[in-house]
């Protein structure tokens, strides 16, 4: 209830926006993050500066909180298992365990009759030829522990350079689905009720989320099926809090689930401006056992992420675009590809806004 303390593992911009929601709901907030200048530290009541997987730091966090959540992949299942013995961690450990291991994630999907891209397990170099004969080109080799590490294979000549991944351990060789749209959807649960956010189209550039368009322009029957899949997955996990699900839509209308992200996500940031409840509010309601209503979208919208290399361009737009909603995270440790903020533009004509964004050189 209000007045309790919520501990957040991770201090990114997502933790900052979650902290704002928690404060509005009457909670105290403590965070655990290795950076003394992380975005959430600007607003939290207190901050433990340590690695998110530091066992002693997690124990200290648990002692000061009534409930603990996480918004980062940098906490291991083993650490979470230790934590649940001393403090309420509503998300539990199964969700993190399954989503941190791509083989377990794919096994979960298959057990629940969720359609995924064809794949093969690769333990040694000799497995790759048989897998390619089955899957074909193009395909992608990924480690089981981190989906960001991958190598795209377009022909046999790409095999040798990809062997560096295999030296790290078991990998997955996965067919590359020729998709028409890539989408993302957030679902919140409190163990009994579930609420699904609008299906949002996501556009990536250089493997970074660039734009989100909501709602995604998909046929009604496709939208309904994506929502059905989303609720099915949430129920299988007895979900508490937010789960983000990424999917591919092929030109023929086939739906493939790409991956599960067990936390709030940048693709849901539009909800701060154009929904009756944000993903951050819904996550907190879910982990605190509050009831969940129906999520409503008040307006179509486009959200564009701002990288540090476009900081000057984005700040110049503040005086030119009064209808645009600007968010700057206050990050201190920056590279050119660091997300420093986002802009959400409510609109009835997303195509026009996408052209404006292109002209603004963001």
* Reduced DSSP (H G I as helix, E B as strand, rest coil) percent helix, strand, coil of the chain, to 5: 35, 30, 35
- The most confident of the ranges 19-23, 160-164, 166-170 is 19-23
DSSP state of 177: P
Average pLDDT across the chain, whole number: 94
In the prediction, which pLDDT does 207 show?
A: 87
Distance of CA 47 to the CA centre of its chain: 23
- Share above pLDDT 90 across residues of the chain, in percent, rounded to a whole number: 85
Quickly state the pLDDT bin for 325 (edges 50, 70, 90).
very high
At 259, which helix (H) or strand (E)?
A: strand 255-261
CA distance 6 to 90: 11
289-300 pLDDT tens trace: 999 999 999 999
DSSP state of 356: H
Overall average pLDDT of the 302-326 stretch: 96
Q: Do you find a cis peptide bond into 138, omega within 30 degrees of 0?
A: yes
Is pLDDT at 147 greater than 70 in this prediction? no
Overall average pLDDT of the 15-35 stretch: 98
CA distance 59 to 55: 6
Fold of 5-89: Rossmann fold (3.40.50)
Q: Which among 93, 56, 61 is positioned nearest to 76, based on CA atoms? A: 93
Q: Which residue has the tokens 């028409």?
A: 180
- Share above pLDDT 70 across residues of the chain, in percent, rounded to a whole number: 99
**Whether the Cβ atoms of residue 151 and residue 165 lie closer than 8 Å to each other:** yes
In the prediction, which pLDDT does 332 show?
A: 87
CATH number of 118-175: 3.30.1490.20
CA distance 5 to 48: 14
In the prediction, which pLDDT does 168 show?
A: 83
Q: Residue 362 corresponds to which tokens in the numbers above?
A: 């963001």
Quickly state the pLDDT bin for 97 (edges 50, 70, 90).
very high
CA distance 245 to 230: 7
CA distance 345 to 348: 10
**Whether the Cβ atoms of residue 102 and residue 147 lie closer than 8 Å to each other:** yes
Q: Residue 172 corresponds to which tokens in the numbers above?
A: 């997955």
**Whether the Cβ atoms of residue 263 and residue 244 lie closer than 8 Å to each other:** yes
| Number of neighbours of residue 209 by Cβ within 10 angstroms | 20
Domain 179-359 CATH class label: alpha beta
In the chain, where does the domain assigned CATH 3.30.470.20 lie?
Answer: 179-359
In the chain, where does the domain assigned CATH 3.30.1490.20 lie?
Answer: 118-175
Residue 274, C-beta contacts closer than 8 angstroms, at least 6 positions apart = 214, 297, 298, 299, 300, 301, 344, 346
Q: Which residue has the tokens 């163990």?
A: 191
Alpha-carbon distances, residue 234 vs 41, 191, 227, 242 (angstroms): 31, 9, 11, 9
Is pLDDT at 64 greater than 90 in this prediction? yes
Lowest mean pLDDT among 123-137, 304-318, 321-335: 123-137
Residue 66, C-beta contacts closer than 8 angstroms, at least 6 positions apart = 4, 5, 6, 87, 88
DSSP state of 169: S
Lowest mean pLDDT among 17-21, 25-29, 71-75, 144-148: 144-148
Q: Which residue has the tokens 């819904």?
A: 282
In the chain, where does the domain assigned CATH 3.40.50.20 lie?
Answer: 5-89
Overall average pLDDT of the 4-27 stretch: 98
184-222 pLDDT tens trace: 999 999 999 999 999 999 999 988 999 999 999 999 999
Quickly state the pLDDT bin for 87 (edges 50, 70, 90).
very high
Residue 228, C-beta contacts closer than 8 angstroms, at least 6 positions apart = none
At 187, which helix (H) or strand (E)?
A: strand 179-190
Is pLDDT at 146 greater than 80 in this prediction? no
219-258 pLDDT tens trace: 999 999 999 999 999 999 999 999 999 999 999 999 999 9
**CA angle 171-172-175, nearest 5°?**
150
**Whether the Cβ atoms of residue 122 and residue 128 lie closer than 8 Å to each other:** yes
User: In sequence order, what are the beta bridge partners of 303?
Assistant: 212, 344
């Amino acid at each position: 209830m209000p007045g309790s303390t919520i501990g957040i593992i991770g201090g990114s911009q997502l933790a900052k926006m979650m902290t704002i929601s928690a404060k509005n709901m009457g909670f105290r907030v403590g965070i655990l993050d290795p950076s003394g200048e992380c975005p959430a530290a600007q607003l939290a009541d207190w901050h433990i500066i340590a690695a998110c997987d530091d066992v002693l730091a997690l124990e200290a966090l648990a002692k000061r909180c009534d409930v603990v959540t996480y918004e980062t992949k940098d906490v291991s299942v083993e650490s979470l298992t230790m934590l649940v013995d001393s403090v309420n961690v509503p998300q539990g450990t199964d969700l993190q365990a399954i989503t941190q291991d791509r083989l377990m994630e794919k096994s979960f999907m298959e057990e629940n009759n969720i359609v995924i891209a064809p794949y093969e397990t690769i333990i040694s170099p000799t497995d790759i030829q048989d897998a390619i004969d089955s899957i074909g080109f193009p395909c992608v080799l990924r480690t089981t522990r981190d989906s960001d590490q991958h190598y795209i294979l377009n022909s046999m000549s790409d095999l040798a350079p990809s062997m560096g991944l295999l030296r790290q351990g078991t990998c997955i060789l996965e067919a590359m689905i020729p998709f028409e749209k890539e989408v993302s959807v957030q679902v919140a649960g409190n163990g009994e009720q579930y609420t699904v956010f609008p299906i949002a189209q996501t556009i990536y550039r250089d493997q970074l989320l660039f734009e989100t368009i909501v709602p995604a322009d998909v046929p009604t029957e496709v939208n309904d099926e994506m929502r059905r899949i989303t609720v099915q997955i949430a129920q299988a996990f007895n979900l508490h809090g937010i789960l983000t699900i990424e999917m591919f839509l092929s030109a023929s209308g086939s739906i493939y689930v790409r991956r599960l992200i067990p936390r709030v996500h940048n693709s849901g940031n539009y909800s701060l401006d154009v929904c009756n409840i944000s993903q951050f509010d819904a996550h907190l309601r879910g982990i605190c056992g509050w009831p969940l209503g129906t999520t409503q979208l008040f307006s179509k919208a486009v959200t564009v992420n701002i990288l540090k290399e476009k900081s000057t361009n984005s700040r110049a737009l503040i005086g030119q675009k009064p209808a645009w909603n600007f968010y700057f995270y206050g990050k201190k440790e920056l590279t050119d590809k660091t997300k420093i903020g986002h802009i959400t533009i409510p609109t009835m004509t997303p195509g026009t806004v996408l052209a404006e964004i292109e002209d603004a050189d963001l």
